[in-house]
Amino acid sequence: MKIVSVIGSNRGEKSTSQSLVNYLAQQLSSGEMSVPSYYARRMYHRPREQDVFFQELAACELLILSAPVYVDLLSAPLIQLLEMARDKIGRNGLEGTKMLAIIHSGYPEPQQRRPCLEMCRCFAREMGIEWCGGLSFGGTSPINGRTLESAGGLTKGIRSSLDRVAEKIWEGSLSGVEDLTLEDRSTIPMPPWLVKLLMNALTRKNAKKSGIEDLATRPYGIKVK
Ligand SMILES: Cc1cc2nc3c(=O)[nH]c(=O)nc-3n(C[C@H](O)[C@H](O)[C@H](O)COP(=O)(O)O)c2cc1C
């Protein structure tokens, strides 16, 4: 199976988005499938490289898009790349291709990743791609571009999700789904409401330390004297 991955992180090869694809690729390479990566930010700065990517995209059977959430959205270079793919290849120009999205974020709640997953599914629909669902991972900031194995127990749940998907890809049983999300996992071993409580307390503490008294003041709580 010809697979191509696109990395949506502005950190490129050093990103957690890449670590997630590397882990998946390792599971597949033991079954002799390779997963070349293309970087949205790199192509944004070097437009000539986009054409190579579009050719690879048009020829691949499975597109794996791995990207973080940046302020509730996909990164600007990735959005631009997807729009250019639509304009260059044309609507419904990727019929016969499958797509898996791996969307991850710092906060643990699934709703953080939902808009990005919707954007990916929308791209698939416009291009005639078979949407095979999204993997949704929360609390990924501490991975910080390390291998998932070296992040230890923190990534255990993520690795088992990726193992299951790798097996499906390998067997050829990854197929179209109606669901937006295949699996949602968080690295943070506590309920989202508790994380929210702790993070709000931390934000208030940091704000106080920086001399910001009223967090509700706009913009960004800075008081002009
Ligand atoms: C500019 C910026 C904006 C971010 N916005 C969000 C956000 O809205 N929600 C969230 O849960 N995480 C957010 N994060 C956290 C990242 O999604 C998280 O750190 C992720 O692991 C980064 O992955 P990467 O190494 O592939 O770039 C943001 C990070 C940055 C740098």
- pLDDT tens for 122-176 read 999 999 999 999 999 999 999 999 999 999 999 999 999 999 999 999 999 999 9
Across the chain, mean pLDDT equals 93
Work out which ligand 1 atom sits closest to the CA atom of 140: 21
Residue 136 CB neighbours (<10 A):
26
Cβ atoms of 104 and 140 within 8 Å: the answer is yes
Work out which ligand 1 atom sits closest to the CA atom of 67: 26
Could you give phi then psi for residue 62, rounded to 5 degrees? Answer: -135, 125
Work out which ligand 1 atom sits closest to the CA atom of 72: 8
Question: What is Dmax (Cα atoms) for the chain?
Answer: 65
Domains and CATH numbers, the chain: 3-188 (3.40.50.360), 190-225 (no CATH)
Residue 29 has pLDDT above 90, yes or no: no
Task: Identify which of 9, 10, 71 to mutate to test ligand 1's pocket (most ligand atoms within 8 A of the CB).
Answer: 71
**Mean pLDDT to the nearest integer, 38-54:** 95
